[in-house]
Amino acid sequence: MAIYRFRVTFEDYEDVYREIDMPSKATFLELHQAIHNATGYTPDVSSSFYVSNDQWKKGTEIAFLPTERKRSNGVLEMEGIRLSKFIDDPHQKFYYIYNFDRPYDFHVELIKILKEEDGKEYPLVFKTVGTVPKQVAAANFPISTADEEDDEDEDLSTDDTEYGVDEDEDFDLFDGEDEGGEEGEGASGAEDEY
């Protein structure tokens, strides 16, 4: 059986990457899980691979936990698609977006095709370079409860501002316009020409 060696690089941190050996019969879900075993990130979030060209342009999407809209549009799902189905090039590339809520973008490139070695278990992290960026936890962004939202609405209703603007404050809509609506000489002269 063929073994694909992928280099998985953070798009924004090119000096941080993992090289992962995957069996050709493995699914994209198994690659997704292998990436997160190598990074320590939680794999159970909505993510997608995109078949890509040399300029990392996104093509066919292969999704994990897709939205209903994506499902109704016939998106491919990771658990049912083997890696070998989309390997047309010995340097095949996939653009990978992990966690659409707080995304990290990765470049996944096939760098070598090897033969399976007896005694090795796959997937296998072949090489680790750099420290992965700290994952932003949802706990750092607390979601307010319904009671808190009601309290906030009450506070806003007693305030004289709407959308952050004080309603009692006068604003001139145009520079150089007087309160009576007259404009400076230069502007009125230009208007007369039309």
- In this structure, the answer to whether residues 96 and 15 fall within a common structural domain is yes
Q: Helices marked H in the chain — which ranges?
A: 28-39, 68-72, 146-157, 185-193
- DSSP3 helix / strand / coil % (the chain, rounded to 5): 25, 35, 40
Domain enclosing residue 172, as ranges: 146-193
Whether 73 and 105 map to the same domain: the answer is: yes
pLDDT digits 0-9 by tens, 7-54: 999 999 989 999 999 999 999 999 999 999 999 999 999 999 999 999
* Of 103, 133, 163, the domain-final residue: 133
Residue 173 has pLDDT above 70, yes or no: no
Domain membership of residue 141 (yes or no) is no
pLDDT reading at 176 higher than 80? no
Is the pTM higher than 0.85? no
Query: What is the C-alpha separation between 138 and 143, in angstroms, rounded?
Result: 9
Total domains, the chain? 2
- Decide if 139 is inside a domain: no
